[in-house]
């Protein structure tokens, strides 16, 4: 490709709205253009990268036994209502009406459609197992698109669905996908972490995410250095500090003027926060919920939402709490009626807690469970934090930020049961197909590759996903000898199968070098009067400082060597 013909211009200045490096560089390199919040056009350079990522993914899916197909973006809303996932996705589901006023959804994912499809085609255990996938545009009306291509509302995603006869089969399919995913990331030059995850709106049991470590990441990863336990913070468990058990003392009311928060109450009464009970309130599918946890801990809303089995959960407003007759700042589980109380297991460790008295500026001392109050649901709803104990080996947990680049789920049978995807087993009985699903976002891989691999000059593409392999850069192409050599080299390299971006412009060396660095092509070949004096060209890797002079006759061989060196090897 000749740069003079390439659609897309590099920019010297960073657009103001871009804060994340991948976003800035994608804009500056002329690779993407924003159309609306979380909606982008992909220019030729970006499109080539996406195609390469797509090829890698397709190749690994096929290797793993997947069959590619394509499913519609436009889906009847009734299909989502059948599984109840229209509620689980809530406002993230883009919906529209057709001319007959039928409600349709733009697919945020395709479990419903594919399960229906499979239910029509799979009747026997002989048809299983089955791995089906597509690479398709997804639509999700994210509450807050952000960070360039990291979180968008329209994006290309590979989604594979596995169909098995039983849990064992599912585990095999799952493991096969985990391996295929590892290969994909290796080939894309992305070091990833496999972590335990919450399954969110997708639903299901086991779930893992692939994370790329990045300070700017949206997710917090909790991990144990000792035993390799690794989990998303919204899922992670931990061992909290144990409290001494004590003889229960009688309840006692105490005035706490001006003290409302845990901080204030504990310092006013001169007790540790862990001797208090924290009450917070949420609204689960419209109903007020009383949530109780030990004062030194925080509630994990994902765990809470899961424990409540509700579709929609949010923290309540002060008004809603007051309306229920509860005194904010002194809310008490003691004497609570007609409100569901959910408590974290931490309240069973220790005794004689301080809790609210449900009277303004008054608290109760020596509150004990279950003597003084009862809870409707006692489970783990606490946020795991760095410094707490690993749930597997009790060593100290650490935390780090990451960006999710893949998510896999063991779905089980809830979708096949709801959508009627059954098969006849060898004994002749009808059983639901056991499903899994496996998603990977292409644009996010592209963006994260940049986050991972750049310098102050620009992008440094990993070779396998670089838009071009070689940046051919003649300096002063107005000199016939330089132009001739470059043209010949361009033809030869293309003939040899190299992907070449040919900077045929009459720009100054500085402009060309800076553009080459910004766009991030892995290998630069410079032709100038200086190199031609020695019948050579200069070859330089984007990732390295040093360059080398290579005689014209050896350029092809030298480049072949460089490029084969940079293709990652896979362990299969």
Site for RNA in 145-164 (CB under 7 A): 145-147, 151-152, 155, 157
Nearer to RNA among residue 141 and residue 425 (C-beta): 141
For residues 71 and 65, the answer to whether their CB atoms sit within 8 Å is: no
Q: Which of residues 541-560 bind RNA (CB under 7 A)?
A: 547
CB neighbour burial string for 315-345, b if at least 16 within 10 angstroms, e if fewer: ebeeeebeeeebbebbbbbbebeeebbbbbe
| Position 535 contacts RNA (CB under 7 A) | no
Distance of closest approach, residue 154 Cβ to RNA, in angstroms: 10
Distance CA 54, CA 355 (A): 56
Q: Which of residues 12-31 bind RNA (CB under 7 A)?
A: 12-17, 19-20, 28
| Position 526 contacts RNA (CB under 7 A) | yes
Q: Is 475 exposed, middle or buried (0-12, 13-18, 19+ CB in 10 A)?
A: buried
267 SS3 class: helix
Q: Is 187 exposed, middle or buried (0-12, 13-18, 19+ CB in 10 A)?
A: buried
Distance of closest approach, residue 410 Cβ to RNA, in angstroms: 13
**Can you tell me which of 260, 511, 552, 556 binds RNA, judged by CB under 7 A?**
511
The region of 57-65, 240-248, 418-426, 501-509 touching RNA under the rule CB under 7 A is 501-509
Q: Would you give the binding string for RNA spanning residues 65-84, x where CB under 7 A is met?
A: --------------------
The region of 34-42, 48-56, 485-493, 495-503 touching RNA under the rule CB under 7 A is 34-42
- What is the CA 47 to chain-centroid distance, rounded? 21
User: In terms of DSSP H, where are the helices of 192-256?
Assistant: none
CB neighbour burial string for 104-115, b if at least 16 within 10 angstroms, e if fewer: bbbbbbbbbbbb
| Position 407 contacts RNA (CB under 7 A) | yes
Q: Which of residues 35-64 bind RNA (CB under 7 A)?
A: 36-38
> 389: which DSSP letter?
B
Nearer to RNA among residue 441 and residue 522 (C-beta): 441
Pair of tokens at residue 491: 């033809």
Return all residues near 125 (Cβ < 8 A) that are at least 6 apart: 165, 423, 424, 425, 426
Q: Which of residues 309-338 bind RNA (CB under 7 A)?
A: 313-315
| Position 11 contacts RNA (CB under 7 A) | yes
Distance of closest approach, residue 122 Cβ to RNA, in angstroms: 25
Q: Which of residues 255-314 bind RNA (CB under 7 A)?
A: 301-302, 305, 313-314
Distance of closest approach, residue 94 Cβ to RNA, in angstroms: 13
> 491: which DSSP letter?
H
Nearer to RNA among residue 29 and residue 367 (C-beta): 29
**Can you tell me which of 508, 553, 554, 568 binds RNA, judged by CB under 7 A?**
508
Nearer to RNA among residue 113 and residue 128 (C-beta): 113
Nearer to RNA among residue 44 and residue 200 (C-beta): 200
β-strands 397-412, 207-213 pairing:
antiparallel
**Can you tell me which of 60, 111, 503, 515 binds RNA, judged by CB under 7 A?**
515
Nearer to RNA among residue 280 and residue 424 (C-beta): 280
Give the HSE-up count for residue 157: Cα atoms under 13 Å, Cβ half-sphere: 28
Place of tokens 């003392």: 249
Q: Which of residues 205-244 bind RNA (CB under 7 A)?
A: 209, 218
Pair of tokens at residue 494: 């293309």
Q: How many residues bind RNA (CB under 7 A)?
A: 71
| Position 410 contacts RNA (CB under 7 A) | no
Distance CA 291, CA 279 (A): 6
For residues 135 and 442, the answer to whether their CB atoms sit within 8 Å is: yes
Could you count the other beta carbons within 10 Å of the beta carbon of residue 84? 12
The region of 194-202, 249-257, 266-274, 365-373 touching RNA under the rule CB under 7 A is 194-202
């Amino acid at each position: 490709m000749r740069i003079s013909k390439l659609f897309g211009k590099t920019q010297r200045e960073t657009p103001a709205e871009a804060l994340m490096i991948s976003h800035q560089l994608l804009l500056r390199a002329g690779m993407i253009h924003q159309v609306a919040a979380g909606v982008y056009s992909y220019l030729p350079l970006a499109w080539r990268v996406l195609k390469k990522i797509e090829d890698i993914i397709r190749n690994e899916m096929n290797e793993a036994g997947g069959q590619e197909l394509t499913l519609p973006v436009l889906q009847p809303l009734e299909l989502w209502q059948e599984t109840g996932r229209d509620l689980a996705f809530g406002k993230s589901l883009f919906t529209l009406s057709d001319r007959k006023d039928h409600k349709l959804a733009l697919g945020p994912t395709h479990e419903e459609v594919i399960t229906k499809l499979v239910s029509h085609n799979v009747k026997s255990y002989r048809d299983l197992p089955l791995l089906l996938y597509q690479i398709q545009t997804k639509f999700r009306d994210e509450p807050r698109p952000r960070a360039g291509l990291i979180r968008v509302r329209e994006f290309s995603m590979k989604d594979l669905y596995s169909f098995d006869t039983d849990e064992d089969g599912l585990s095999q399919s799952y493991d096969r996908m985990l391996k295929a995913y590892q290969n994909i990331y290796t080939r894309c030059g992305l070091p990833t972490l496999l972590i335990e995850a919450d399954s969110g709106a997708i639903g299901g049991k086991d779930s893992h995410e692939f994370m790329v470590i990045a300070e700017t990441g949206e997710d917090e990863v909790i991990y144990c250095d000792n035993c390799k336990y690794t989990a998303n913070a919204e899922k992670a468990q931990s061992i909290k500090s144990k409290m001494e058990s004590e003889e229960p003392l009688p309840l006692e009311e105490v005035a706490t003027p001006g003290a409302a928060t845990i901080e204030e109450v504990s310092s006013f009464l001169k007790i540790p926060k862990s001797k208090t009970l924290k009450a917070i309130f949420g609204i689960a599918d419209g109903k007020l919920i009383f949530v109780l946890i030990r004062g030194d801990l925080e509630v994990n809303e994902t765990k809470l939402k899961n424990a409540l089995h509700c579709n929609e959960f949010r923290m309540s407003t002060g008004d809603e709490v007051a309306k229920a007759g509860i005194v904010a700042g002194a809310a008490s589980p003691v004497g609570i009626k007609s409100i569901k109380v959910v408590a974290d297991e931490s309240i069973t460790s220790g005794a004689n807690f301080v809790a609210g008295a449900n009277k303004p500026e008054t608290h109760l001392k020596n509150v004990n469970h279950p003597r003084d109050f009862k809870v409707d649901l006692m489970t783990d709803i606490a946020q795991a934090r760095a410094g707490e104990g690993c749930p597997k080996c009790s060593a100290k947990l650490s935390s780090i930020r990451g960006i999710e680049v893949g998510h896999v789920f063991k779905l089980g049978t809830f979708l096949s049961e709801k959508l009627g995807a059954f098969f006849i087993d060898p004994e002749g009985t009808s059983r639901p197909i056991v499903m899994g699903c496996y998603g990977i976002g292409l644009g996010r891989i592209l963006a994260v590759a940049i986050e991972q691999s750049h310098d102050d000059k620009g992008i440094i593409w990993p070779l396998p996903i670089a838009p071009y392999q070689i940046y051919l850069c003649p300096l002063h192409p107005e000199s016939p000898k330089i132009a001739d050599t470059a043209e010949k080299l361009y033809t030869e390299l293309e003939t040899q199968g190299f992907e070449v971006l040919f900077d045929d412009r009459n720009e100054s060396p500085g402009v060309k070098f800076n553009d080459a660095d910004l766009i991030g092509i892995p290998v630069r070949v410079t032709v100038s009067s200086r190199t031609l004096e020695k019948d050579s060209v200069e070859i330089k890797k984007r990732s390295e400082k040093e360059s080398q002079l290579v005689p014209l006759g050896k350029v092809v061989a030298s480049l072949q060597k460089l490029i084969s060196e940079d293709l990652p090897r896979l362990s299969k």
